[in-house]
Amino acid sequence: MAWYNKRKKKFEIISTEIPLSTMLRWYLYDTGLAPANSLAEGVGLNRVSDEGDVKEKEDSDLRLSGIFELMPFIDSISDMSVSTMLALQESKTNNEMSEEEIEASSVIYKAISMSSLIGALSIGLSLGILETAAISSGRVDMDIDNE
């Protein structure tokens, strides 16, 4: 059996610990909901210097470039989330919403869903726990009649 051990593939497990505060800062920069420094203190982070801000923006651009191809997918899933949240809101209040209420709620729900998806995907790619090659946002034609 010695020959088996020589041919056995060896795998190296690399573990990287990223502080939650770092991922939170990445989220603030990647989502662009507001200038990151204006939100930092509100979520328990220190403000970064002007030089740090420039570096964080550059790093964010790199992370976001990894999900650029997924934006149509992210937008579609976000729209589904908005529709679902509006239906849930209407069902919980048992009242039909006015056009103004629908529009105001839609803007909020869209911001929440887009930022959540963008943050999760950009950070996941950066950490190496997601791969865009495993996801396709292209069109797939299926022949239903001739399965």
Residue 41 DSSP symbol: G
Q: What are the tokens at 90?
A: 């209407």
What whole-number distance in Å separates Cα of residue 22 and Cα of residue 18? 7
What mean pLDDT is predicted for residues 93-100? 86
Q: What are the tokens at 108?
A: 């909020």
What mean pLDDT is predicted for residues 65-83? 95
> Nearest-CA neighbor of 118 among 57, 59, 58, 77?
77
Spatial contact of 62 and 90, defined as CB atoms under 8 Å apart:
no
pLDDT at 17: 78
Phi/psi of residue 67, nearest 5 degrees:
-110, 5
What is the pTM (predicted TM-score) of this model?
0.74
Q: Count the neighbouring beta carbons within 10 Å of the beta carbon of residue 116.
A: 16
